[in-house]
Structure 1
Amino acid sequence: MLIAQRCAIQFVTILLFATAALAPARATEPAQDEALAYSIGVQTYINGFPMMDLYRTLWETSFDPKRGHDRTLNEFFAFDRLITSKDDWVITPNNDTIYLRAFLDLRKEPIILVIPPMGDRQYWVPVSDMWHDFDASLSWDTVGARGGAFALCAPGWQGVLPGGVKRVDMGTPIIWTLPRIAVNGDPDLPAAVALQKQFRLVPLSQWGAASVARPRPDAAEFPRFTRAELTDAKAYFTTLNTLLRLSPRLGNPSDDALAGWLRELGMHPFTGFDWNKLSPQARRGLERAAADAHRIIAERMPRLVPIVNNWQLARLDKRISGDPVFAAGAAMLGLLWNPKEISTYDVAFFDGAGAPLDGNNRYVLRFSPPPPVDGFWSVTMYSAENQLFVPNPLDRYSFGDRTKGIVYEKDGALEVILQHAEPTDPKERANWLPAPKGRFYLVTRHYSPRPPILTGDWLPPPITKR
């Protein structure tokens, strides 16, 4: 009797396993309940935000017909002058460098980035994948004065490069770069622009040709995605699915882990995502997820970095995508930022006592010692009202170790005077960084920072009200 019961149980067990093997697995079907879609949506939105906001920048600057731009992919856009208080096209700009910018599509072949001989001119060329992880930092302190030629290669590319061309393997097939060239004021601008014009991007197949044909990318391959659509759930998740195929990372553990969740929503990168195949409940879950995840990133953004003496200290690693919430907050704070090996940033909205900075007051910022750098450093003044430079009688928007006529203390310290009213004392006027009549904030930039800045042995001093 006992043997018969055991046989019956074994038969039922085998039958159940066989039935389960024949039945379609629920995990292969799009999730239809709101709670599960919401949970997956929040994780997916935050994880993908750095790539999505960067792609938004790519589409708006390369393909949006309303912008009137004349540059697409695989070629430089050059900004060949220093920004002034009359410029309102970019917030929190610097007054230290001129720029080149390019998004590159490496799917067909590598693109060779040519840095000309730079002499004693300082330059920084960060090269990043679409997740804002940096694969190269080609600068005057890593490459040197002679420059060079660097083949930027998509993941898995195999081939032979010309002699003298160094290979740089990228994390994704679509990438970006933002070269910066130091300029010491307007008189120095022509020499810097002359070097800027010698930077080149050359497809491998055209290396050695007398001239390089302008690229003609197929705009149909790049779906429309704008700033307004960052909180549009349908546009966000549909475009994300496309980008995971358009510019994948190979063998990335985070992406492999996320793929299982994406499959639950029918959003796996191997397949196209159809929003309309989801149930109303699942769509509602994703709509809630997009709104809440965006809010989570926005609330995390001001608390990304340590705060010392009421300065926010930004020392960003080359690779931060493994910490999705931090990476998303960094992307929302400011795209196309530099890793700490190139430059670091201190940001202050409050004085040392915790009160908002206001140009109607008088402040002193005493650097003792000044920031230790191999490049140079600057403190830049911004109106808190519009995040732009402050018009002033000196046309001085920043103050640093290259500012002409500054006065150091006998002990080597440097006092920066921060106020709206023009100082009457000649020494204070020499060290004056003009402020607006109302609220302002400061950003200190350290180009090629030395170890004490990176280790915390040097910290920014408090801004003291006088």
Structure 2
Amino acid sequence: MTQPELEALAADAYVYGYPLVSSLTMVERFTQGGLGVLPAAPFNGFSHATRLAQPEDTFVSVNNDTVYSIAQLDFSEGPQVLHVPDTAGAYYVLQFVGAWTDNFAYVGRRATGTGERTWLIVPPGWHGTPSGGRENVIVSPTAVATIVGRFACTGPDDLPRVRALQDGLTLAPLEPGGLAAGLPEPDPEVPERLAFFERLRVWMAAFPPAGPDIEYQQRFAPLGLLDAGPSPYRAAAPEWTLALLKGLAAGRERVEDATRPPEDHPAGEWRSALHLFDYNVDFLGPGTLDDPEWRIPDRRAAYLSRAAAARAGLWGNHAYESVYAMTYDDADGRPLSGAHAYTLRFDEPPPAGAFWSVTMYSLPDYYLVANPLGRYSVGDRTPGLVYGEGGSLTLLLQHERPADPAAAANWLPTPEGGFRPIIRIYQPTPAALDGTYRVPPIRRI
């Protein structure tokens, strides 16, 4: 294989494998050190946040609407029994994510209601007989998985209610006495510049994807990704290493490009991620919609969508659970920057069956923006907003605090430099999913 062919193959491997490496790196981070307000927790145990996310919680596009409860599952300990409490109608969702970032099940207000319930979560290929019936079984596509729990929270005064619900959210092994093996460890002697490929090699073997994807993986044999013995990256030949590194850079740029708006998109238009998470077509369990509308039929196109989703919104929901839309520029097509002030006017509220919000993120990291007000998002649950005639709402987006009290009430602080806001619509109604509703553009003052 020629050097250019190796580089092109390495770029494809990066796009294909980035979600697995990104997701399991985050799994590792959660089990070993935690993340911001979420303390470290062992496999098969929940880590509960005790407040809403803040800028020090450096997770890509983290929301500021819900309090997180996150568990990393390892089925080497056997199936897990999940108990969910009665939330008395309040919004919550437990999103089940496989190692390759497939959203394979949902439990919560939209999917299964808000009543108390017990579920059995089992590994791929499990053939046991559940005592509660198959309708209460969730099958994971991989031997490790993640539960991302989100409880709606209106602010500090609502935290006691949420904490009581978190206490009622439990995991326990079906058969006690097992031991979670955890993630297989990549070779620590591999140089850092090739660590991505080493992680992909080890984790790809440990957590195989769907059958058609396994077939696609065979083409990566010349990159050493199918080697089962000692790592081929410890003392790799210089020419081969150079090809891998060039491919790595090209693949990374391809993923970054996929997260940016197309050059020909209408000025100021919000990019909706309605189908960004539709790459999972193989593992559709309880709470998912098994419908052609929510599938990306072209697998190779789905690999890039999956990578872009992992880069800009790791562990995000399908749009039928919550709609995400984002924009990088104003109504005249100019990049958004904290050097200017903007307005965002809603003549009518976004079509949410639960609630909606606009959250501010910095570039290029997509983290929450620190500000003296401690306000990271604004939405229909934000206290003290000033509404106009007919129920319209005009938000002010700028870096400095407005002098006018009415403007300050509707202020969403921006960073000094570039920024990208996201609007979230939880439990979207049909108007949010069929294109009827369009988020209004941001206008520079």
- One fold, TM greater than 0.5? yes
Partner of 2:395: 416
User: Following superposition of structure 1 onto structure 2, how do residues 33-44 of structure 1 map, counting pairs within 5 Å?
Assistant: 34-44=3-13
Partner of 1:367: 346
TM-score, normalised to structure 2's length?
0.82
3-state SS, counterpart of residue 136 of structure 1: strand
Distance change in 2, residues 1:364/1:156 (3 Å): same
Q: What displacement does 1:403 show?
A: 2.0
Give the distance between the partners of 1:392 and 1:266, measured in 2 at CA.
50
User: Following superposition of structure 1 onto structure 2, how do residues 58-207 of structure 1 map, counting pairs within 5 Å?
Assistant: 58-63=27-32, 70-84=40-54, 87=56, 89-90=58-59, 92-163=61-132, 166-206=136-176
Q: What displacement does 1:405 show?
A: 3.4
3-state SS, counterpart of residue 95 of structure 1: coil
Amino acid at match of 2:208: P
Kept in 2, the 8 Å contact 1:244–1:269? The answer is no
Q: Which range moved further: 271-280 or 163-172? A: 271-280
1:391 aligned residue (363, 371, 381)? 371
Give the distance between the partners of 2:172 and 2:263, measured in 1 at CA.
38
Give the distance between the partners of 1:73 and 1:305, measured in 2 at CA.
43
User: Following superposition of structure 1 onto structure 2, how do residues 446-461 of structure 1 map, counting pairs within 5 Å?
Assistant: 446-461=425-440
Partner of 1:302: 260
**1:271-320, CA deviations, whole angstroms, 9 ceiling, x for partnerless residues?**
66534696554343223322322222223321489955342322245442
In structure 2, runs of 5+ residues without a counterpart are 281-298
Q: What displacement does 1:373 show?
A: 0.8
Partner of 1:253: 212
TM-score, normalised to structure 1's length?
0.79
Give the distance between the partners of 2:137 and 2:91, measured in 1 at CA.
23
Distance change in 2, residues 1:161/1:270 (3 Å): farther
Give the distance between the partners of 1:148 and 1:388, measured in 2 at CA.
34
Kept in 2, the 8 Å contact 1:423–1:432? The answer is no
Query: Which is higher, the Rg of structure 1 or of structure 2?
Result: 1
Q: What displacement does 1:439 show?
A: 5.2
Percent of paired sites with the same residue: 28
Distance change in 2, residues 1:392/1:139 (3 Å): same
Amino acid at match of 2:404: T
Give the distance between the partners of 1:443 and 1:223, measured in 2 at CA.
35
Kept in 2, the 8 Å contact 1:422–1:434? The answer is no
**1:312-336, CA deviations, whole angstroms, 9 ceiling, x for partnerless residues?**
3222454426321222122122322
Q: What displacement does 1:90 show?
A: 4.1
Q: What displacement does 1:367 show?
A: 1.1
Give the distance between the partners of 2:5 and 2:61, measured in 1 at CA.
40
Partner of 1:9: none
3-state SS, counterpart of residue 257 of structure 2: helix
* 1:53 paired to 2:19: no
Give the distance between the partners of 2:139 and 2:329, measured in 1 at CA.
42
Distance change in 2, residues 1:184/1:34 (3 Å): same
User: Following superposition of structure 1 onto structure 2, how do residues 294-443 of structure 1 map, counting pairs within 5 Å?
Assistant: 294-303=252-261, 309-320=268-279, 322=299, 323-358=302-337, 361-382=340-361, 387-393=367-373, 395-419=374-398, 420-424=400-404, 426=406, 428-435=407-414, 440-443=419-422
Give the distance between the partners of 1:304 and 1:53, measured in 2 at CA.
24
Give the distance between the partners of 2:202 and 2:422, measured in 1 at CA.
37
Kept in 2, the 8 Å contact 1:241–1:272? The answer is no
Kept in 1, the 8 Å contact 2:39–2:47? The answer is no
Amino acid at match of 2:199: T
Q: Tell me the C-alpha RMSD between the 2 structures.
A: 3.3
Q: What displacement does 1:398 show?
A: 2.2
Kept in 1, the 8 Å contact 2:355–2:380? The answer is yes
Kept in 2, the 8 Å contact 1:127–1:178? The answer is yes
Partner of 1:27: none
Q: Which range moved further: 159-168 or 280-289? A: 280-289
Amino acid at match of 1:313: S
Give the distance between the partners of 1:349 and 1:274, measured in 2 at CA.
41
Distance change in 2, residues 1:186/1:333 (3 Å): same
In structure 1, runs of 5+ residues without a counterpart are 1-30, 207-212
Amino acid at match of 2:184: E
Q: What displacement does 1:262 show?
A: 3.2
Amino acid at match of 1:295: E
Give the distance between the partners of 1:317 and 1:134, measured in 2 at CA.
12
3-state SS, counterpart of residue 417 of structure 1: strand
Q: What displacement does 1:445 show?
A: 1.3
Q: Which range moved further: 159-168 or 125-134? A: 159-168
3-state SS, counterpart of residue 239 of structure 1: helix
3-state SS, counterpart of residue 374 of structure 1: strand
Q: What displacement does 1:270 show?
A: 6.3
Q: What displacement does 1:369 show?
A: 2.0
**1:332-375, CA deviations, whole angstroms, 9 ceiling, x for partnerless residues?**
22322222122122223322122344556443211122210111
Kept in 1, the 8 Å contact 2:277–2:306? The answer is no
3-state SS, counterpart of residue 205 of structure 1: coil
Kept in 2, the 8 Å contact 1:34–1:283? The answer is no
Distance change in 2, residues 1:269/1:176 (3 Å): farther
Q: What displacement does 1:181 show?
A: 0.3
Q: What displacement does 1:45 show?
A: 2.2
Amino acid at match of 2:123: A
Kept in 1, the 8 Å contact 2:82–2:169? The answer is yes
Distance change in 2, residues 1:142/1:88 (3 Å): closer
**1:173-226, CA deviations, whole angstroms, 9 ceiling, x for partnerless residues?**
2111210000011111111111112111111114xxxxxx8x85446833378x
Distance change in 2, residues 1:418/1:72 (3 Å): same
Q: What displacement does 1:267 show?
A: 3.6
Distance change in 2, residues 1:280/1:196 (3 Å): same
**1:136-178, CA deviations, whole angstroms, 9 ceiling, x for partnerless residues?**
0112111111142222222211101122671112221211121
